[in-house]
Amino acid sequence: MIEPRQRLPVTPRTGRFLVLAGVFVCAACGLVYELELVALASYLIGDSVTQASVVLSVMVFAMGLGSLLAKRLRCRAAAGFGLVEAALALVGGCSAMALYAAFAWAGDRGEMWAGGSRYLFVAFSLAIGVLIGAEVPLLMVLIQRVRRQDAGGAVADLFAADYVGALVGGLAFPFLLLPWFGQLTGALLTGAVNVLAGGALVLGLFGRDLTARGRRLLLAVNAVVLAVLATAAVHVDDFERAARRAVYGSDVRVAVRTPVQEVVLTGADRASLRLFLDGRLRVSGRDERRYHQALVRPALRTGRHERVLVLGGGDGLAAAEALRHAGVRRVDVVELDAAVVGLARRDPVLSGLNGHVYRDPRVHVTQADAFRWLRGPHRRTYDVVLADLPDPGITASTKLYSQEFYGLVARVLAPGGRLAVHAGPAATRPHTYWTVDATLRAAGYGTEPYRVTGRRGGYAAGPDRIAGPGGAPRDWGFVLASRGRAGAGGDRDCAVLRAGTRAAERVRPAGWRALPPSTLVHPRYAG
């Protein structure tokens, strides 16, 4: 059905352009809301593939539902569209703050959030999807009132503007909003643009569709939404500081968002120091010595160890432990985030913990992604490689625990060299731990899995940002590997390795030798 033309304050050509411009802006805002939910869910909960799949699938379903519900508003398309945009701006703009608040204050450091509160993400995805889905049917009615055209032509115009707007929103989120404004302010700013665009289109172009009371009501609703968003933007820094204290405690000393991750440093002395990367504990002052001794000693207690390569470990602690062994002449550290190295150099507590290792002329740092760096040309080989990398269960880390990655490591290992890998907790996630062992064996390494118990840090170190159950055993799992040997060639006089292999055997599942390796195209660390 072709809607009758409406008297407009502009020419039909200009009116059509303004409607399509409104479609463009609203589509850009809608995609920003989607990406913001995906990024926030991955950041707060973990496992980015799962969270992206849940958010996007729920949102697409909700968009279809919103399109059906919008059929009831076609007789009042202008008013309906104005109210939909105001609601979308409010819900989408405030979603990041609401979800971060739920994460920060639900339960004791997130335990409640690990359960039913995760459904809040689904609720926001559903609500935002319904409102986005309601836009196109209402805009279809409005563009027909501007200029008569067949339904196919109107749909083509609308979807062309919609898709181009989605492109702009998709590029603006990672390259503009996230680095310049952050997730919270970026969402609020998007909401303000959304409500202004929707209100201006309805009131400026289709104001004669509304009664005087309707215009006043829509103006009042838009003003309230803008006031809420502006108030939230004014207080967003105070909110973020309060939420950070709720998550990390009151002794936060450093909190920065780098191009790679969020880096938070807490604690005023060595015993209380904690370094969090994207909310996951990477260094605990109470546990640091035990962890790094377990990672480094078995690999350096036997064979040559003049040249050591540390993959990750920008905190300098693995390098410092390596330098405690006589005969080490060079340690190369390959770290992705320069801010972590900067903290390890300059922060008095962290640099004191690593013994000011970056002042040692034997230590050399390269800022690079470990996978890309290993693919480059290398003239130097190493006697020992220490993979001090984030947990394999974190989606972004799975490529660093793949068969292809270990093949690249083999290229820089000297004959008889050893590779020590941090492989996540063996007791609580045995599938992940033994998959690392299977992947190393598939890459041609002989392996010796070992496990060290007694980890005291109560924060998450794995794919989830939350702490595990209070009674759950806490441990570190490691694998010592050597290229082309039946075993890894570890020193059986090393107490860490001797006790650790027995501890690993106690949690070894049936059928562990049949586990398939993890590859780039088929990662197997989920579950």
Beta bridge partners of 267: none
What tokens does 390 get?
Answer: 């984030």
Answer yes or no: are the C-beta atoms of 54 and 472 closer than 8 Å: no
d(CA 173, CA 181): 10
User: Is 332 annotated as catalytic?
Assistant: no
- The radius of gyration of the chain from alpha carbons, rounded to an integer in Å, stands at 28
Residue written as tokens 């441990």? 475
Q: Checking phi first, is residue 424 left (phi over 0); if not, alpha (psi -120 to 50) or beta?
A: left
For 320, the enclosing helix (H) or strand (E) is: helix 317-323
Residue written as tokens 């589509």? 27
What tokens does 173 get?
Answer: 């989120």
In Å, what is the CA distance from 236 to each residue of 27, 97, 98? Answer: 25, 8, 12
Strands (E), 398-499: 413-422, 445-453, 475-483
d(CA 390, CA 277): 9
Nearest CA to 266 among 258, 254, 257, 278?
254
Strands (E), 314-456: 330-335, 363-367, 382-388, 413-422, 445-453
Active-site entry in 209, 332, 383, 388: 388
Q: Name the amino acid, one letter, at 326.
A: A
Nearest CA to 95 among 129, 144, 68?
129
CA dihedral 40, 42, 46, 48 (to 10 degrees): 180
| Residues designated as active site | 388
